[in-house]
Amino acid sequence: MCDKLVNGTYNVNGNDDASDKKCNGTKKEIRVWCDGCYDMVHFGHANSLRQAKALGDKVIVGIHTDEEITKHKGPPVFTEEERVKMVKGIKWVDEVVLGAPYVTTLEVLDQNDCDFCVHGNDITMTAEGVDTYHLVKSANRYREVMRTAGVSTTDLVGRMLLLTRNHFRQGSAEYDIEKEGSSNMGQDSAAKSPWTGCSQFLPTTQKIIQFSDGKSPNQGDKIVYVAGAFDLFHVGHLDFLEKASKLGDYLIVGLHTDPVVNSYKGSNYPIMNLHERVLSVLACKFVNEVVIGAPYCVTEELLDHFKIDIVCHGRTPIALEDGKLDPYAVPKTRAIFELLDSGNDMTTERIVERIILHRLEYERRNQAKEKKEIEAFEALQRQKQTHKAG
């Protein structure tokens, strides 16, 4: 597969025939436009794109530049190059366009041959407080999908800055919302924004099915297995999984439980709990299957059950179980273990370092964002009351 950059557009599927406007030879394909910052890409972004894909044939994603985001929202966590790569790695995305305007115009839809624009049912505004989708809404070229409750970039930044541990509670408290005083990061129950304030993320089997491709390996397929935390799914993970996928035909990712990850990473890791990490990894186009709560030590039973041909690990240090057991001893004995160099030195820890380094900037950004969202929400409520009275 070769991604092509043509007029600022990355064609993820490698088909650059602009004249190909037909689907199945007769019906014109429906091209759906989505745009945004896509900073710290998470399963909420992926779910929005999945819903957009269901409304058409192709999904074209416009990404704002670092300069535009800084102007309207504050500094992004990831560079535009990193954000482009992450969005290209989502299984429902067909093309990526860098340099999308912050306010979506009819011209940008026409330039990219898109029928309409899709966004979640929250409000995005410019620095001046203008709805970024007002132009396409007025032209009836706007569709809305449900925002994924319980996750936002604002929330994830808050978890890192405050070193909170509530996101991996277990037992009866697992889905409790934090009841302590509100921070200014918008990640607890006292945060007031109706969109990026805290809400419960409730995992369901339906959501996992929607994210899974549901395909079993074919007879004779070479099956590759990797395992880890895959916390705050990032470009380093993406590059590693792409390389691992090329070693075989079917890639299985084992995800360790929250207590296991915490045992070898410490602090408040993982930043994202197991349910969240499952969806983040399933959204990756290189992944075929996920083992939820995989054993830390790769066992003979696991290898035999999934008929695994090769086991890979990246260049990150391998922690011994209980300080003495090599978790890859069995695949090494079978001579099916391989160390992979992704060529990318990004780690979850480096992301946290970026956030902490710019802590004050992110706090100001999130405070301003929450203020604008509250004002917009209150204006909407007043508008609804006026319509009812009329």
pLDDT in 10s for each residue of the chain, 390 residues: 444 444 466 666 554 443 343 445 567 899 999 999 999 899 999 999 999 999 999 999 999 999 999 888 778 889 999 999 999 999 999 999 999 999 999 999 999 999 999 999 877 777 677 889 999 999 999 999 988 877 777 778 777 877 655 555 555 554 443 333 333 333 333 444 443 444 455 678 888 999 998 899 999 999 999 999 999 999 999 999 999 999 999 999 999 999 999 999 988 899 999 999 999 999 999 999 999 999 999 999 999 999 999 999 999 999 999 888 999 999 999 999 999 999 999 999 999 888 888 777 767 666 666 676 667 667 667 777 776 766
Question: How is residue 320 written in tokens?
Answer: 């011994």
- Do 254 and 226 contact (CB within 8 A), yes or no? yes
Answer for the pair 43, 276: CB distance below 8 angstroms, yes or no.
Answer: yes
Integer angstrom CA distances of residue 215 from 227, 271, 278, 314, 346: 20, 29, 17, 26, 30
Superfamily of domain 213-340: HUPs (3.40.50.620)
Tokens of 15: 């088909």
pTM: 0.80
Which runs of consecutive H residues, i.e. helices, occur in the chain?
Answer: 43-53, 66-72, 80-88, 106-111, 134-138, 153-162, 205-211, 235-245, 258-265, 274-282, 300-305, 329-333, 348-357, 359-389
Question: What SS3 class is residue 354?
Answer: helix
* pLDDT for res 178: 39
Classified as helix, coil or strand, 145 is: strand
Residue type, 350: R
Residue 271: its H or E element: none
- Within 8 A by CB and 6+ apart from 167, the residues are 159, 271, 272, 273, 276
32 vs 22: CA distance, rounded Å: 15
pLDDT at 15: 45
> What CATH code is assigned to 31-145?
3.40.50.620
- pLDDT, residue 130, reads 84
- The pLDDT value given to residue 17: 41
SS3 35: strand
List the one residue out of 347, 296, 348, 342 whose CA is nearest residue 323. Answer: 296
Residues 48 and 148 sit within 8 Å (Cβ to Cβ): yes
In the chain, domain spans: 31-145, 213-340, 352-389
Counting Cα atoms < 13 Å in the Cβ hemisphere of 208 gives 13
Of 213, 352, 350, the closest CA to residue 284 belongs to 213
- Give the span between the Cα atoms of 389 and 375, in whole angstroms: 21
Per DSSP bridges, beta strands 142-145 and 289-292 are unpaired
Please indicate whether the domains covering 31-145 and 213-340 agree at the CATH topology level: yes
Query: What order do you get walking across the sheet with 223-228 strand by strand?
Result: 289-292, 250-255, 223-228, 310-313, 337-339
Query: Among candidates 214, 226, 213, which has minimal Cα distance to 308?
Result: 226
pLDDT of 162 = 72
Per-residue tokens: 84: 């482009």
